[in-house]
A and B are shown apart, each in its own frame.
Chain A
């Protein structure tokens, strides 16, 4: 278990959070303009990085807000948390 810094509530146990996967995935503005392969890339493909990874977490049992975390996926060390840019949820920092 690790401790995660919620930008609003401070450091809390991992069990209070739910995981949202890779950060910075932007929904295409015009899905109709995409090929099937491009749409599949948005929908299914993930960077799935080994190492420093930007990801989304939700403070599900706290303030219930989404935020970004940079975490190493091998050592599980958390480099820091950040608020997502307002009005652009999922865009990442």
Chain B
């Protein structure tokens, strides 16, 4: 892999940028791999990268049905934070946040991780109690968090509506200063390039159509580009998790829903942090390009269509205008829908299954982007060692049988 650097930028500029090499190869699939990762989103690519880097696995394929970064990895609002309530989830997301902090250097690819802080607003006395509790829990788990007053919020975010007569007045917020945003496409491309450099075959336009089993163990996958053999298969396909599970003869506690997001026309800098509100249910930041990046809740019905309903768009905009009345005159540029895999406890499943050699990483629901490096790191460990790391052990599929759910619903700083 040719290192990217300021020098390489200058050198390529001198040759009018005509000689850049492809960031990753486009190999033909081999007949057999040591590990197959199904799903070339951020999580799948990160899994392949950490399998190669941390565990020395050399013979890995990532199978992607479309193109790299075309699914949820490129369809989210790019927020990265770790201020979850439950110890299990906060430690998992914190591991991820720590990886984010060194990710651009690690991948030699600028993922534009910007720790501009995330405010989670409180609009009622109960909200503020929950915020106090969550901030205290975060600090006990070694995660930076603080409670901020309305005056502090207004000073940091001048455009926000802090009027006490607002329909949902702002009473305070939690603030995680190490949280922020990253460039989602760069995350996919950076992991793809770094994994490819370590010998991972990234095979695009290769849809998995069947999971082959020999009794209680996997033997490979059927794809649109032929049969590929492997004794270890990791499935990381977000909204399509149930579809892949059905191919392997399994059922999952997952329901797939559309989640929509939006960007506005580009504006001059008006918002240099991230604002989230569970009560009015919306979240907003401004990208480096200047467009407002906006998201809210899922559409209520099961859907795989990568689009949602108009009333959800209306609800989202109403929430944002409640917080920032000035933005009522901003025109929206694009909107899109991703398919999110919702678990009953709003926590992911990262672990082994009842089938030998078959591993699932799914159920990230509405908050998977922030977990991209940590998800890949723990999943790689799980596949390489055939047992979960202590960070993802609580996130087993077994928890739905044992009853040891991790109840993040309504506790994770924003409604899901």
Which residues does A use to contact B, with CB under 8 Å?
Answer: 1-2, 14-15, 18-19, 21-22, 36-37, 40-41, 43-50, 53, 55, 71, 73-76
List the 4 closest pairs (A to B, CB-CB), nearest first: A44-B253, A48-B242, A45-B251, A19-B300
Q: Which of B302, B309, B401 contacts A37 (CB 8 A)?
A: B401
Cβ B310 vs Cβ A73 within 8 A: no
* Complex Cα spacing A37 to B397, Å: 11
**Interface status of B99 (Cβ within 8 A of chain A):** no
Q: Which of B243, B400, B401 contacts A50 (CB 8 A)?
A: B243
**Interface status of B102 (Cβ within 8 A of chain A):** no
* Complex Cα spacing A49 to B245, Å: 11
Residue numbers in A under 8 Å from B344 (CB-CB)? 44
Residue numbers in A under 8 Å from B310 (CB-CB)? 1
Cβ B251 vs Cβ A73 within 8 A: no
Residues of B224-244 at the interface with A, using a CB-CB cut-off of 8 Å, are 240, 242-243
Q: Which of A18, A36, A41, A74 contacts B305 (CB 8 A)?
A: A74
* Complex Cα spacing A50 to B240, Å: 8
Q: Which of B243, B246, B402 contacts A36 (CB 8 A)?
A: B402
Look across to chain B and name the residue whose beta carbon is closest to the beta carbon of A14: B309
Cβ B311 vs Cβ A1 within 8 A: yes
* Complex Cα spacing A17 to B302, Å: 14
Q: A41-B251, A46-B253, A55-B302 are in contact. Are A36 and B401 (CB under 8 A)?
A: yes
Residue numbers in A under 8 Å from B402 (CB-CB)? 36
Known: A22-B302, A45-B252, A75-B305. 4 other contacts (CB 8 A): A1-B311, A46-B251, A46-B254, A50-B256
Q: Which of A15, A40, A46, A53 contacts B401 (CB 8 A)?
A: A40
A-B contact pairs, 21 of them (CB 8 A): A1-B310, A2-B309, A18-B300, A19-B300, A19-B301, A21-B255, A21-B302, A43-B400, A46-B251, A46-B252, A46-B254, A48-B255, A48-B256, A50-B240, A53-B302, A55-B301, A73-B303, A73-B304, A73-B305, A74-B303, A74-B305
Look across to chain B and name the residue whose beta carbon is closest to the beta carbon of A18: B300
Cβ A1 vs Cβ B400 within 8 A: no
* Complex Cα spacing A50 to B388, Å: 30
| Distance of A63 from chain B, by nearest CB (Å) | 19
Cβ A48 vs Cβ B254 within 8 A: yes
* Complex Cα spacing A45 to B240, Å: 15
Residue numbers in A under 8 Å from B309 (CB-CB)? 1-2, 14
Look across to chain B and name the residue whose beta carbon is closest to the beta carbon of A39: B401
Q: A1-B310, A14-B311, A45-B252 are in contact. Are A76 and B305 (CB under 8 A)?
A: yes
Residue numbers in A under 8 Å from B256 (CB-CB)? 48, 50, 73
Kindly name the residue among A48, A49, A50, A74 whose own CB sees the greatest number of chain B CB atoms within 10 A: A48
Cβ A47 vs Cβ B242 within 8 A: yes
Residue numbers in A under 8 Å from B302 (CB-CB)? 19, 21-22, 48, 53, 55, 73
| Distance of A72 from chain B, by nearest CB (Å) | 9
Kindly name the residue among B302, B309, B344 whose own CB sees the greatest number of chain A CB atoms within 10 A: B302
* Complex Cα spacing A2 to B301, Å: 11
| Distance of B303 from chain A, by nearest CB (Å) | 6
Residues 98-128 of B, flagged 1 when their CB comes within 8 A of A and 0 if not, give 0000000000000000000000000000000
| Distance of A40 from chain B, by nearest CB (Å) | 4
Look across to chain B and name the residue whose beta carbon is closest to the beta carbon of A76: B305
Residue numbers in B under 8 Å from A1 (CB-CB)? 309-311
Residue numbers in B under 8 Å from A74 (CB-CB)? 303-305
Residues of B338-364 at the interface with A, using a CB-CB cut-off of 8 Å, are 344
Look across to chain A and name the residue whose beta carbon is closest to the beta carbon of B241: A48
Look across to chain A and name the residue whose beta carbon is closest to the beta carbon of B250: A45
Cβ B252 vs Cβ A48 within 8 A: yes
Cβ B301 vs Cβ A46 within 8 A: no
| Distance of A50 from chain B, by nearest CB (Å) | 5
* Complex Cα spacing A36 to B302, Å: 26
Residue numbers in A under 8 Å from B255 (CB-CB)? 21, 46, 48
Look across to chain B and name the residue whose beta carbon is closest to the beta carbon of A36: B401
Look across to chain B and name the residue whose beta carbon is closest to the beta carbon of A45: B251
| Distance of B354 from chain A, by nearest CB (Å) | 9
| Distance of B132 from chain A, by nearest CB (Å) | 32
| Distance of A69 from chain B, by nearest CB (Å) | 10
